[in-house]
Amino acid sequence: MSFSRQSKIEILETELEDDSSCIAFLSGLFHSCGEIGKEGADYFVSIISDIEELFSYVKKIVKKLYGGNIEEQLSEHYSINKSNFYELKFDVKNFQQLLLDVGVIDFSDGLSFVFEINKSIIIEDTPRRAFIKGVYIGCSTSSIKFSEGAHKTEATGYHLEFVSKNHDFLLEFSSILASYNILGKIFERKGDFVFYLKDVNAIMDLLALIGANESVLALSNELVTRELRNKVNRQVNCINANINKTVEASMKQVEAINTIISTIGLESLPEDLQEVAMLRLANQEESLEELLKLSTIKLTRSGLNHRFRKIIKIAKELEE
């Protein structure tokens, strides 16, 4: 199960606190995943989602507040990438009060549909959070994939986005999140508008805000896992770089010694240089630190390296 789906189901496992929160939650859903339709002369507003658990949750809210039956149907038109999208219909005739309360229709000048967010629904903090829950379930997606095992990951970064056809709605929604210091950006993609978060801390703040605490914990653990893996990788890369550096230096030293042997002979070198040359030829894969441990010569690492530089200089002069 994807992280996005799992977090949405987690939210649906907690009941809303009061009637105003229920209204705000439904308003968030209608604005984020609602569609307007017409059958004959009658209009209806639908909630469309691939989260099947959402519909029993909504039915329970509607029954509690308004009573009545709701028509639910699965349409073949909403089958995308092996995911079935469900449609929950609210006809204007039977659910007029509900649609008025959540702020998606208006009768001040005949029937009209409202696309702006009704600010009076989300004045208080608790209903505002419930509204955000509705929007999160209605139109959010994420590319967050968790690591598998200690050395394998499928994920590249953190990304959570809200997609809508309505640019003004996303602007209003981003303003609501900004009041909680959760900041993102909006751009257009293939006719849709996208409000997205790429900062993992902002994503965790959002999840905490809407009560998805288990998802926050899972994301926090993933963050620690990735940071640990990156630290280990950096250490391994550093070790490998040092090994490569040691091997390269040793090869250069051995090559210089062989040049001297094939030209003027090793015995022509001063005794102190002969000693380190013989030590290197006998231990070609060892680092300077290891050579010092193997040597009976009282030298520091800097002193040993200085003698090798002398040998390389002599070999270079002989080659020239």
DSSP code at position 193 = E
Q: Are residues 27 and 146 in the same domain?
A: yes
**Tens digit of each residue's pLDDT (9 = 90 or more) over 25-52:** 999 999 999 888 888 888 888 888 888 8
Domain count, the chain: 2
**Tens digit of each residue's pLDDT (9 = 90 or more) over 304-316:** 888 888 888 888 8
**Tens digit of each residue's pLDDT (9 = 90 or more) over 3-16:** 888 899 999 998 89
Pairing of strands 105-106, 112-113: antiparallel
Q: Are residues 148 and 292 in the same domain?
A: no
Is 217 within a domain? no
Q: Which residue has the tokens 């290891």?
A: 290
Distance CA 127, CA 22 (A): 8
Is 224 within a domain? no
pLDDT of residue 151: 45
Q: Are residues 90 and 153 in the same domain?
A: yes
Domain that holds residue 310: 238-319
pLDDT of residue 9: 92
273 or 168, which is more confident: 168
Is 159 within a domain? yes
Q: Are residues 14 and 110 in the same domain?
A: yes
pLDDT of residue 150: 41
Number of residues in the chain: 320
- Which among 192, 211, 230 is the end of a domain? 211
Residue 171: CATH number of its domain: 3.10.28.10
Output the CA angle 154-229-183, nearest 5 degrees. Answer: 70
Q: Are residues 145 and 270 in the same domain?
A: no
- Which among 176, 211, 246 is the end of a domain? 211
Q: Are residues 205 and 283 in the same domain?
A: no
Q: Are residues 172 and 271 in the same domain?
A: no
Report the phi/psi class of residue 103: left, alpha or beta, with left for phi > 0 and alpha for psi in -120 to 50.
Answer: left
Distance CA 74, CA 51 (A): 12
Is 218 within a domain? no
Element (H, E) at 38: strand 34-39
Q: Which of the residue ranges 72-76, 140-144, 173-177, 237-241 has the most confident prediction, judged by mean pLDDT?
A: 173-177
Question: Is-contact 280 266, C-beta < 8 A?
Answer: no
**Tens digit of each residue's pLDDT (9 = 90 or more) over 98-111:** 888 988 888 877 77
Tokens at residue 216, please?
A: 């926050």
- The strand order across the sheet containing 34-39 reads 34-39, 42-49, 83-91, 71-80
**Tens digit of each residue's pLDDT (9 = 90 or more) over 134-175:** 999 999 988 777 766 444 545 557 889 999 999 999 999 999
